[in-house]
Amino acid sequence: MDCSLDNNCGPAWDEAKRSAVLHSYDVLDTPREQDFDELVQLAAEICGTPIAVVNLIDTSRQFFKAEIGLGVRETPLETSFCGTAILAEEMMIVPDASKDPRFQHNPLVAGEPKLRFYAGALLRSPEGLPIGTVCVLDYLPRELSDHQVRMLRLLARQAMTQLDLRRTLAAQTQALEAAHAAEREKALLARIVEQSSDFFGMADTAGRIFFLNDAARRMVGLAEADISTTQVVDYFVEADRQTIIDVVMPEIGKNEDWEGELRFRNFATGTVTPVLFNIFSLLDAGGALIGYGAVAKDISLQKEEQRRRAEITREMSHRLRNTLAMVQAIVTQTFRMTKTVEEGREAISGRLNALARAQDILTSTNTSLARLGDVVGTALAPHRTGQGRFSLAGPPIDLTAPQALGLSLALHELATNAAKYGALAEPEGAIQVRWHWTEGRRFRIEWIETGGPKVSVPTRKGFGSKLLERIVAPYFEGEARLEFAPGGVRFRLEGEMAIPDDARIRAAG
Amino acid sequence: MTGNDDLAWFGILIVEDDPLLLIDAMDMAEDAGFTAYAARNADEAIERMRNHADIRILFTDVDMPGSMDGLKLAHYVRDRWPPVEIIVVSGLRHISLEEMPASSLFFAKPYPQKPLLDAFAGAVSRAAAI
């Protein structure tokens, strides 16, 4: 060796690399093993020393894979005989450490247990890096014969062989485990593909289908059928095939994937299934194109939801426009019959208010129907003072939306008139509103005022009269009669509950 | 009646299932001087068409109960009474031209009165030219 401890030249290896090689054996801190125990037994017997060790030297500590005569498995490197310096020589023999300047100050030499003799044979990995020694030690100075030295070297090679064997075995086990894991992963992937409720399919480079999972077969009605004669385009409705040819194919031809909404057709039933379709190039490990993979998700439910939402939006807009048309009619009708703008303004705001409150009842129910009692109560609410001047009574009767709106407007006119000229204009006045079934789906509503001032037939008829006499009855396919009796105004509406069909509910005003 | 009595020979059939809107449209037509006929569904409308030869304009809502909606009625009237002018109104925004009979007019609800009255007047002048 060119290097001694006196000149400061470092070891002939990269310590990090050496440590990495040592760690690759995965032997540090492993339990005792008989193979190595027998090895140190032999070393001690051959060399006649009380101590023998298979010593693995890491950067800052040493680990004894096997030892006799020491009783410990690890020591720090500072006090070590087998420090990295030792690793520099194939075979190192120190007959008397107390006389060797390299070791005489070592605490284990200078103090207890007063080690004197050391002989170590290097453990060199196949990469050529030293990772430890097989060494023997004694408390007395001694020499080794050539035979003992050869045996110690032999034992070191044996130890190295054992370590290599273990490392190879470990690597093989690891590779095997990795292969098993890959196998398991593959099986899982196959299961995911097979059992997914999404469509999985594969086509060759010519677009011929060679694989479909069960969900795919179900989706397109090819459960038991031979798929090898089918092409990608065959799976789509006629109207989408041009998109496949013009848009999708050129895109994946550029090795881009393509995703979009398309429609599958069922080969067996012709049923159409809207899908979110994703198609991409399938490449082998070398990157060569082997075909195309496709995943498709049935989006029927989403489509249905979209359609339903659009329908609701359309319906809302329709209702709004119809309501606005009613507002328009109320405004024009009011101005036809009023003398001044102020009069018209007040009448309009009252009528629109009645319309709005009736709308509130309708929007608060899920059925587009309104209870007659609710409509009456709501229409009269602004006139009810809590003095018990109204008595409302009748069975539950459902009204369609237009009926509820029409009746609300009529009741508003009656109440407004009563407040100005009728029962509500006098403290003693009272109003009865009664309704009941007459025959089958026919019913009658009556408005009876009492206790008001003496009634005379009005000279001028306004929109209110028109509404009560001509407009409200047709909502019920019935008849209305407004009577200016001397004892109080009476109004009677007879009609029929419409059987609410869809068209009528949609019309909703 | 505040309008031109000379137009009383010119009948307009108004088809609208909502009684308030029906009366309001009738008032508008009558105020302009026309004779207005009312129907609340397609069946009533066809009956009016059969009984009143003076009807020159069909003015119909689309959405209404009964065997036919306003669009079907419009096509029916166009087939049976080709010279009758057709005006369709609806709260539905999406009535495409293809759905309407040829040379008929569409107004969205709530419809503006002035353009509608202009449309009536246009029909009158075309009828007078025949």
Q: What is the complex's ipTM, to 2 decimals?
A: 0.88
Nearest-angstrom CA–CA distance, A67 and A51: 7
List C-alpha distances in Å: A69 to A36, A234, A318.
14, 82, 100
Look up residue A372 and give its two tokens: 């007659």
Beta strands in A315-381 (DSSP E): 369-371
Mean pLDDT of A434-450: 93
Counting one residue from chain A and one from chain B, the pairs whose CB atoms sit within 8 A come to 78
What count of other Cβ atoms lies within 10 Å of the Cβ of residue A133?
29
Report helix angle A146-195 to A34-47, nearest 10: 170
Q: How far is CA B17 from the centre of its chain?
A: 13
What count of other Cβ atoms lies within 10 Å of the Cβ of residue A278?
16
State whether B22 and A409 contact (CB < 8 Å): no
Distance in Å from the first CA to the final CA of chain B: 27
Residue A12, pLDDT above cutoff 80 = no
In this prediction, residue B127 carries a pLDDT of 78
Beta strands in A80-157 (DSSP E): 91-94, 117-124, 130-138
Residue A3, pLDDT above cutoff 80 = no
In this prediction, residue A11 carries a pLDDT of 64
A23-32, long-range: CB < 8 A, 24+ apart: A23/A58, A24/A167, A25/A56, A25/A125, A25/A131, A25/A163, A25/A166, A25/A167, A26/A166, A26/A167, A26/A170, A27/A56, A27/A63, A27/A65, A27/A163, A27/A166, A28/A56, A28/A58, A28/A63, A29/A63, A30/A65, A32/A65, A32/A66
B20 vs A contacts (CB less than 8 Å): 326, 329-330, 333, 406, 409, 467, 471
CB nearest to A329's CB, from B20, B40, B65: B20
In this prediction, residue A2 carries a pLDDT of 40
- Geometric angle at alpha carbon A318, from A312 and A324, rounded to 5°: 135
In this prediction, residue A66 carries a pLDDT of 92
In this prediction, residue A6 carries a pLDDT of 42
State whether A324 and B40 contact (CB < 8 Å): no
A406 vs B contacts (CB less than 8 Å): 19-20
In this prediction, residue A7 carries a pLDDT of 42
Q: Are B57 and B84 in contact (CB under 8 A)?
A: yes
Give the tens place of pLDDT for each residue, A220-275: 998 887 888 899 999 999 999 999 889 988 888 777 789 999 999 999 999 999 99
Question: Which position has the token pair 């998700």?
Answer: A297
Task: Return the DSSP state at A365.
Answer: S
Residue B130, min C-alpha distance to chain A (Å)? 34
B62 vs A contacts (CB less than 8 Å): none
Nearest CA in chain A to B110: A325
CB nearest to A324's CB, from B18, B40, B110: B110
CB nearest to B40's CB, from A314, A474, A506: A474
The percentage of residues in chain A with a pLDDT greater than 90, rounded to a whole number, is 50
In this prediction, residue A340 carries a pLDDT of 87
Q: Which residues contact A71 (CB under 8 A, 6 or more apart)?
A: none
Under the banding of pLDDT at 50, 70 and 90, the label for residue A481 is very high
The percentage of residues in chain B with a pLDDT greater than 90, rounded to a whole number, is 62
Residue B1, pLDDT above cutoff 60 = no
State whether A507 and B21 contact (CB < 8 Å): no
In this prediction, residue B47 carries a pLDDT of 96
Give the tens place of pLDDT for each residue, B20-74: 999 999 999 999 999 999 999 999 999 999 999 999 999 999 988 888 999 999 9
| Average pLDDT, rounded, for chain B | 89
- On whether any CB of chain B is under 8 Å from the CB of A464, the answer is no
Closest CA to A405 of A347, A453, A363: A363
Mean pLDDT of A342-371: 85
State whether A325 and B109 contact (CB < 8 Å): yes
Task: Return the DSSP state at B112.
Answer: P
Look up residue A78 and give its two tokens: 């500072």
Closest CA to A263 of A297, A222, A230: A297
| Average pLDDT, rounded, for chain A | 87
Closest CA to B95 of B113, B71, B75: B71
State whether B64 and A503 contact (CB < 8 Å): yes
- On whether any CB of chain B is under 8 Å from the CB of A461, the answer is no
Give the tens place of pLDDT for each residue, A27-73: 888 898 898 999 999 999 999 999 999 999 888 888 999 999 887 77
Helices (H) and strands (E) in chain A, counts: 14, 18
Under the banding of pLDDT at 50, 70 and 90, the label for residue A368 is confident
CB nearest to A509's CB, from B18, B64, B111: B18
B109 vs A contacts (CB less than 8 Å): 321-322, 324-325
Look up residue A367 and give its amino acid.
Answer: T
Give the tens place of pLDDT for each residue, A386-404: 778 899 999 999 888 889 9
List C-alpha distances in Å: A433 to A117, A448, B15.
124, 7, 33
CB nearest to A325's CB, from B28, B40, B91: B91
CB nearest to A336's CB, from B19, B27, B64: B27
Beta strands in A240-309 (DSSP E): 258-265, 272-283, 289-298
In this prediction, residue A225 carries a pLDDT of 78
Nearest-angstrom CA–CA distance, A143 and A93: 8
Nearest-angstrom CA–CA distance, A447 and A490: 5
Radius of gyration of chain B (CA): 13
In this prediction, residue A223 carries a pLDDT of 83
The percentage of residues in chain A with a pLDDT greater than 70, rounded to a whole number, is 93
Nearest CA in chain A to B69: A503
In this prediction, residue B39 carries a pLDDT of 96
State whether B20 and A409 contact (CB < 8 Å): yes
A504 vs B contacts (CB less than 8 Å): 65
Residue B129, min C-alpha distance to chain A (Å)? 33
Buried b / exposed e along B8-25 (16+ C-beta atoms within 10 A): eebbbbbbbbbbbbbbbb
Nearest-angstrom CA–CA distance, B17 and B66: 10
What count of other Cβ atoms lies within 10 Å of the Cβ of residue A432?
17
In this prediction, residue A507 carries a pLDDT of 43
Under the banding of pLDDT at 50, 70 and 90, the label for residue A284 is confident
In this prediction, residue A78 carries a pLDDT of 66
- On whether any CB of chain B is under 8 Å from the CB of A367, the answer is no
Mean pLDDT of A309-324: 86
Give the tens place of pLDDT for each residue, A92-147: 899 998 998 888 888 888 888 888 999 999 999 988 889 999 999 999 999 999 99
State whether B18 and A326 contact (CB < 8 Å): yes
Helices (H) and strands (E) in chain B, counts: 4, 5
Q: Are A31 and A111 in contact (CB under 8 A)?
A: no
In this prediction, residue A169 carries a pLDDT of 87
**What is the biggest distance separating any 2 CA atoms in chain A, rounded to whole angstroms?**
148
Nearest-angstrom CA–CA distance, A112 and A109: 7
In this prediction, residue A10 carries a pLDDT of 57
In this prediction, residue A113 carries a pLDDT of 83
Mean pLDDT of A157-163: 91
The three-class DSSP label of residue A199 is: strand
Under the banding of pLDDT at 50, 70 and 90, the label for residue A500 is low
In this prediction, residue B57 carries a pLDDT of 95
Nearest-angstrom CA–CA distance, A502 and B3: 40
